[in-house]
């Protein structure tokens, strides 16, 4: 009696390898040409996979970009891990957050994604919405931290979300935006940018002893 040979199927590692190769290829082409200028055939060729393999992994290039954004979200969570808000006094926590943000933004792929999002957002609004969905949860988490410290009387942030944006602006202006716009960066180190951002932020928002105590000796958050 002859035995039928079982059909060969791709191993999980090979399937995963193909998927990873496709995402890496998409990252290269999307950031080089823009989302709208890249076809599924382009992606298959760049990834070195058959068109059928490409469609077995992803139904569209939109799905591939969303996969890239999910990976970006995981990277941001790694840069700003749970519990970071409890690791020290406010100055140290802000410094950790600042360093985490700059570490997250350091790869050239992140800068390229910002450029692509800005260039393609009008034609493909969902790209900008997807990019915002990566950043917004961490921004709101930071704002909640600032609001909590305001409740405790450590900070005085009347608008914690605005304050969170301002802190990020102090980091992004000298580091991220020159790279995005291909301008010359200021001759400063990332550590110096973070230290100055923390000090400027606290000069505005930290509640000093003089602000805590009123003339009658009672404490005030004003």
- Please state, as a whole number, how many other Cβ atoms lie within 10 Å of the Cβ of residue 209: 7
DSSP state of 184: P
CA nearest neighbour of 110 among 30, 196, 193, 191: 30
DSSP state of 51: H
3-state SS string for 87-156: CCCHHHHHHHHHHHHHHHHCCHHHHHHHHHHHHHCCCCHHHHHHHHHHHHHHHHHHHHHHHHHHHHCCEC
Q: Are 101 and 173 in contact (CB under 8 A)?
A: no
Write the pLDDT tens digit of every residue in 118-132. 999 999 999 999 999
- Please state, as a whole number, how many other Cβ atoms lie within 10 Å of the Cβ of residue 135: 14
Looking up tokens 């914690």, which residue turns up? 160
CA nearest neighbour of 97 among 151, 153, 148, 141: 141
Average pLDDT over the chain reads 87
Domains of the chain, start order: 11-59 (1.10.10.60), 65-212 (1.10.357.10)
Q: What is the pTM of this model?
A: 0.81
pLDDT in single tens digits along all 222 residues of the chain: 444 443 433 433 344 468 999 999 999 999 999 999 999 999 999 999 999 999 999 999 999 999 999 999 999 999 999 888 888 899 999 999 999 999 999 999 999 999 999 999 999 999 999 999 999 999 999 999 999 999 999 999 999 999 999 999 999 999 999 999 988 888 889 999 999 999 999 999 999 864 554 433 444 444
């Amino acid at each position: 009696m002859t035995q039928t040979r079982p059909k060969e199927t791709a191993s999980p590692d090979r399937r995963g390898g193909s998927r990873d190769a496709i995402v890496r290829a998409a990252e290269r082409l999307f950031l080089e040409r823009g989302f709208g200028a890249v076809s599924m055939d382009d992606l298959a060729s760049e990834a070195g996979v058959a068109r059928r393999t490409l469609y077995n992994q992803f139904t569209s290039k939109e799905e591939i970009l969303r996969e890239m954004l999910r990976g970006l979200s995981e990277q941001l969570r790694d840069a700003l891990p749970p519990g970071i808000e409890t690791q020290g006094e406010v100055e140290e926590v802000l410094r950790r957050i600042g360093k985490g943000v700059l570490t997250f933004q350091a790869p050239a792929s992140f800068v390229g994604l910002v450029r692509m999002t800005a260039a393609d957002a009008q034609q493909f609004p969902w790209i900008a919405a997807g990019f915002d969905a990566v950043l917004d949860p961490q921004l709101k988490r930071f704002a909640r931290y600032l609001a909590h410290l305001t409740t405790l009387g450590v900070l005085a942030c009347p608008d914690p979300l605005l304050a969170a944006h301002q802190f990020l602006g102090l980091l992004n202006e000298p580091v991220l935006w020159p790279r995005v716009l291909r301008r010359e960066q200021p001759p400063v180190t990332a550590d110096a940018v973070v230290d100055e951002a923390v000090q400027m932020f606290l000069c505005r928002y930290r509640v000093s002893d003089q602000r805590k105590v009123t003339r009658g000796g009672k404490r005030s958050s004003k």
